[in-house]
């Protein structure tokens, strides 16, 4: 028998309201949807909630709805359902590509959109067994006092590794969040904070319930680098959205994951509007990416490799989108 | 030594396992892999990495291949769970089992139950899959001894034997 999980109870609410109420009532509780991230961490003794609020029975979370204003994706939609949705694949290509590249096929059947957006940050000193972490006196993110990646630093440098967030960021997506005060809507970019220990700007009991995508998205694409072609998290992941006016850039947005403690939109791409997509422009994109990513020694690949790979992906995606247009 | 505490509170789990309904008392923290191996004694389900990374514990839940080591047993309430033991009917190997045997796809054998269950889900969805479709469907299952050539040949052979 495998090492058993610490004891906990499960609440299985049928509505978002009941779920939020259950979570608020039990301060040591956690939401669980697919469980592909949380259960693994619980097995490693990283997270030990005494109550799991199971979201899988909430039907209102598992719909993809389209209207004139765009598309609304419920947080409980599975990654597999998102990856095979024909309307998403034809219009929001980066999102479909990101979904199809998450983990392995078995995980995609279980994992959800909300779970991928709220994925815990990862680090080579954190995603380890209990005995491994205890031998290192734990780390700043969990039970310890020092970040072994940057011992002089004041914060945790664990990397956000969700694939959907960068794709959604290039469309300017918004998220609905349910909580004690009802529901609020914020730009997806505001969900994240550059702190590996507390990277989600969510209050106690708050739950991401849906993602909104604007209608008429620009052409887009997503690519990531990882050690194996499946299962592994990205060492760097890049989404790009590009419109052309003639042969010049109309608008360009680039977003990244896997390199920082939050997924983020690359700043400064608006200056490329009106310029032709040539080697000079690609070099400037490369420099911009290398300047803004902050990969640390948090994965099995070196920080510099991930920096250079992220920049190369950005260049490649912009070239491909230009050729396709 | 601490005296062991009382065993965790259990609840009744009702599911259809390899075609037969059954009920068992399980703790809310029990994982599907442990329920299948230790309660239902279906030890064809293998414990490999214990963290959802290798696919050795793959079983079908409502026809979808999932890693049972990161699935809570209580979340299978009322669902259809299939393991490698459910494939052979009246002592006759299924087409995938036969193909893995004949094409030497079993190799050392440890990853085989997971490989076959992932391939079973694929063949039910796509009866004649391409090489790429097989590779994608098995991309969550790791072989640590020899490689994937014979495994992919076995899945092709099973698909052909049915057509």
Encode pLDDT of A126-147 as tens digits.
999 999 999 999 999 999 999 9
**Whether the predicted pLDDT of B111 surpasses 70:** yes
pLDDT score recorded for residue B4: 67
Residue A2: band (very low, low, confident or very high) from pLDDT cuts 50, 70, 90? low
Neighbours of B20 (CB within 10 A): 8
Task: Flag if B72 and A36 touch (Cβ within 8 Å).
Answer: no
Nearest CA distance, B161 vs chain A (angstrom): 25
Show the domains of chain B with their CATH numbers.
10-86 (3.10.20.30), 95-162 (1.10.150.120)
Q: Which residues pair with A208 in a beta bridge?
A: A177
Q: Are strands B10-17 and B80-82 parallel, antiparallel or unpaired?
A: parallel
Show the domains of chain A with their CATH numbers.
1-54 (3.30.43.10), 62-118+159-324 (3.30.390.50)
Nearest CA distance, A34 vs chain B (angstrom): 8
**Whether the predicted pLDDT of A104 surpasses 80:** yes
Contact status, residue A36 vs residue A107, Cβ threshold 8 Å: yes
Contacting residues of A for B47, CB less than 8 Å apart: 2
Stretch A56-73: mean pLDDT, rounded?
96
The token duo for A107 is 């995980």
**Whether the predicted pLDDT of B1 surpasses 50:** no
What is the gyration radius of the CA atoms in chain B, in angstroms? 17
Q: Which of B5, B67, B138 to mutate to test the interface with A (most CBs of A within 10 A)?
A: B67
Q: Nearest to residue A76, comparing CAs of A131, A118, A124, A137?
A: A118
For chain A, percent of residues with pLDDT exceeding 70: 99
Handedness of CA A118, A123, A128, A130 (dihedral sign): negative
Q: Nearest to residue A6, comparing CAs of B27, B32, B50?
A: B27
Nearest CA distance, A252 vs chain B (angstrom): 32
For chain B, percent of residues with pLDDT exceeding 70: 97
Stretch A8-17: mean pLDDT, rounded?
96
Q: Which of B55, B70, B124 to mutate to test the interface with A (most CBs of A within 10 A)?
A: B70
Nearest to A2 among B47, B58, B118 (CB): B47
Contacting residues of B for A44, CB less than 8 Å apart: 51
Residue A125: band (very low, low, confident or very high) from pLDDT cuts 50, 70, 90? very high
CA–centroid distance for A134 within its chain: 28
Report how far residue A125's alpha carbon sits from residue B86's, in angstroms, rounded to the nearest whole number: 41
Residue B5: band (very low, low, confident or very high) from pLDDT cuts 50, 70, 90? confident
Average pLDDT, whole number, for chain A?
95
pLDDT digits (tens, 9 = 90+) for A229-280: 899 999 999 999 999 999 999 999 999 999 999 999 999 999 999 999 999 9
Nearest to A104 among B29, B37, B139 (CB): B139
Q: What b/e string do you get for B81-120 counting C-beta neighbours within 10 Å, with b at 16 or more?
A: bbbbbbbeeeeeebbbbbbbeebebbbeebbbbbbbbbbb
In terms of Cβ atoms closer than 10 Å to its own Cβ (0-12, 13-18, 19+), residue A308 is middle
pLDDT digits (tens, 9 = 90+) for A26-42: 999 999 999 999 999 99
Contacting residues of B for A103, CB less than 8 Å apart: 140
């Amino acid at each position: 028998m495998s090492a058993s999980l610490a004891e906990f109870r499960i609440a299985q609410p049928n509505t978002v309201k009941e779920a939020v109420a259950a979570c608020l009532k039990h301060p040591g509780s956690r939401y669980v949807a697919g469980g592909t991230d949380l259960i693994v961490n619980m097995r490693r003794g990283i997270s030990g909630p005494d109550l799991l609020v199971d979201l899988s029975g909430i039907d209102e979370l598992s719909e993809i709805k389209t209207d004139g204003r765009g598309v609304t994706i419920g947080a409980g939609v599975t990654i597999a359902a998102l990856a095979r949705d024909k309307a998403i694949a034809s219009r929001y290509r980066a999102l479909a590509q990101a979904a199809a590249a998450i983990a392995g096929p078995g995980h995609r059947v279980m994992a959800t959109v909300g779970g991928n957006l709220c994925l815990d940050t990862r680090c080579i000193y954190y995603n380890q067994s209990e005995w491994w972490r205890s031998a290192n006196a734990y780390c700043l993110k969990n039970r310890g006092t020092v970040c072994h990646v940057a011992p002089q630093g004041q914060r945790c440098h664990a990397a956000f590794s969700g694939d959907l967030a960068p794709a959604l960021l290039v469309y300017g997506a918004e998220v609905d969040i349910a909580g004690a005060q009802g529901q609020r809507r914020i730009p997806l970019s505001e969900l994240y904070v550059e702190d590996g220990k507390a990277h989600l700007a969510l209050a106690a009991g708050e739950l991401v319930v849906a993602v909104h995508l604007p209608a008429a998205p620009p052409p887009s694409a997503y690519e990531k680098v990882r050690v194996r072609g499946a299962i592994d998290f990205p060492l760097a992941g890049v989404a790009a959205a590009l419109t052309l006016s003639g042969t010049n850039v109309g608008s360009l947005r680039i977003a990244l994951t896997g390199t920082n403690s939050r997924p983020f939109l690359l700043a400064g791409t608006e200056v490329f509007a009106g310029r032709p997509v040539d080697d000079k422009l690609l070099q400037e994109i490369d420099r911009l990416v290398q300047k803004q990513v902050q990969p640390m020694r948090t994965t099995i690949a070196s920080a510099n490799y991930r920096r250079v790979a992220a920049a190369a992906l950005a260049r490649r995606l912009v070239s491909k989108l230009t050729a396709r247009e | 030594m601490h005296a062991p505490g009382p065993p965790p509170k259990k609840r009744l789990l009702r599911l259809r396992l390899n075609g037969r309904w059954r009920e068992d008392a399980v703790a809310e923290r029990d994982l599907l892999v442990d329920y299948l191996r230790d309660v239902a004694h279906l030890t064809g389900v293998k414990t490999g990495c214990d963290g959802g990374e290798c696919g050795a514990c793959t079983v079908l839940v409502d026809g979808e291949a999932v890693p049972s080591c990161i699935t809570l047993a209580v979340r299978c309430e009322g669902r259809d769970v299939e393991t490698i033991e459910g494939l052979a009917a009246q002592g006759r190997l299924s087409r995938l089992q036969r193909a893995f045997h004949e094409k030497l796809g079993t190799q050392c054998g440890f990853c085989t139950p997971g490989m076959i269950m992932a391939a079973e889900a694929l063949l039910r969805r796509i009866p004649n899959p391409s090489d790429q479709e097989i590779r994608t469907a098995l991309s969550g299952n790791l072989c640590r001894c020899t490689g994937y050539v014979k495994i992919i040949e076995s899945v092709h052979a099973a698909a052909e034997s049915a057509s």
